[in-house]
Amino acid sequence: MSQTSSTSMQRTAGNGSPGAIKLSAMGLTNQKLVVKESRRARRKATVNFLIDSGAVYSLVPSPTLKKLGVRPHRQVDFSLTDGRTIRRRVGDAYFELQGEGGASPVIFGEEGNKPVLGATTLESIGLILDPFKRRLIPMRMLLV
């Protein structure tokens, strides 16, 4: 069974992809990011996320988002793996990793929900998860 552990991150060179962020962890992949209400906001929180590229949106505990001044602007229905549907509040937040950032939708997590970093947030920062080497790598940006 997999276990969650802390990760360290470092830019790789030589054998690694240029600019890749190497995540060293056993089990699930976690990463700390800064979360703010907007790019210019002064209030910020460092959140340890489980990286789940299969999740569309990221999830941050509601108390954290409220302290940052993030407000929900809609409710969205989400399907769970057990077939149930739940409704959660969704707003927008700004996420940063090593000085690079981007805004994306964020789910207001309820009690018992753990922070999750989803694909939309990864894309807004310009990163993708390499599932085999378990590292974040720069996304190839296409303009078509």
Band (pLDDT 50/70/90 cuts) for residue 19 is: low
Band (pLDDT 50/70/90 cuts) for residue 139 is: confident
Q: What is the homologous superfamily of the domain 30-129 according to CATH? A: Acid Proteases (2.40.70.10)
Query: Which has more pLDDT, 53 or 45?
Result: 45
Quickly count: other Cβ atoms within 10 Å of residue 83's Cβ: 6
Do 29 and 6 form a contact (C-beta atoms < 8 A)?
no
Distances (CA, A) of 74 to 19, 90, 92, 97: 36, 6, 10, 26
Least confident of 30-34, 119-123, 131-135: 131-135
Matching residue, tokens 């509601």: 62
